[in-house]
Structure 1
Amino acid sequence: MNIDISRATAANIRRFRRQRGWTVQHLASVILGLGGCVTGHSIAQIETKPRHRVTIDQAVWFARAFGVPITLLVDPTSCERCKGMPPAGFTCNDCGVAG
């Protein structure tokens, strides 16, 4: 199984944001209010661009904003659709993990 942790993290960020009904700009505002600095543009890049990687600093701020442990944010098995185990030869559209 090929696990791209950064893509899985980006998918989890998108999932947590959508579950809360937050826009990208709202999430950026929450992070700013906590003392972090992640722009709405950066969030959009993380969520949509496969080559854009999530830094550990960013992951910490996202976890704080969502009120979840960072391990839950970066864990590909937290994907509700595939649980980190998509069928062989397929890639999960939600978390980016390849089977």
Structure 2
Amino acid sequence: MTEPITARVLRELTAIRRQMKVSAQELADRMTAAGYPIKRSVIANLETGRREEVSVGHLAIAAQVLGVDAATILRHAAPCPRCHNEPPAGFACQTCGTAK
């Protein structure tokens, strides 16, 4: 079964946040300052899967304050239309680049 797109979007956001060495509290502070009030606990619940849905507003503001393009996050999170992120073993998809 394919992982839900919301989980993949949140995984992408979390990876970006961690790569940029931004704490969950700092992300919450930046998002609040950008006009999207949010608590660190909500971010933690989203990142750990205790909360399963993310709004378009959350994605847009989180991407903005992290300096990334929300559309890029969505492209990485959406399943490949050709291989559905499951290319045959030993091959790489020529559309998305996923390899197994």
* CA–CA separation in structure 2 for the residues paired with 1:86 and 1:25: 35
Q: Which residue of 2 aligns with 1:57?
A: 57
Contact 1:6 / 1:53 at 8 angstroms: preserved in 2? yes
Aligned length: 83
Which letter maps to 2:20?
Answer: R
Cα shift at 1:5: 1.2
* CA–CA separation in structure 1 for the residues paired with 2:87 and 2:40: 33
* CA–CA separation in structure 2 for the residues paired with 1:9 and 1:29: 20
| Identity %, equivalent residues | 23
- Structure 2 portions without partners, runs of 5+: 79-83, 89-100
* TM-score (norm: length of structure 1): 0.70
1:33 lines up with 2:36 in the alignment: no
Larger radius of gyration: 2
Cα shift at 1:75: 2.7
Q: Which residue of 2 aligns with 1:4?
A: 4
- Structure 1 portions without partners, runs of 5+: 79-83, 89-99
Contact 1:77 / 1:85 at 8 angstroms: preserved in 2? no
Give the superposed CA RMSD.
Answer: 2.4
* TM-score (norm: length of structure 2): 0.69
Q: Which residue of 2 aligns with 1:22?
A: 22
* CA–CA separation in structure 1 for the residues paired with 2:60 and 2:19: 19
Residues 9-61 of structure 1, C-alpha deviations (whole Å, 9 max, x = no match): 11011101101111110110111121211221111111101652111111111
4+ runs deviating over 6 angstroms: none
Which letter maps to 1:55?
Answer: S
Aligned in 2, Cα 1:42/1:36: closer, same or farther, shift over 3 Å?
Answer: same
Larger RCO, structures 1/2 (Cα 8 Å, 6+ apart): 1
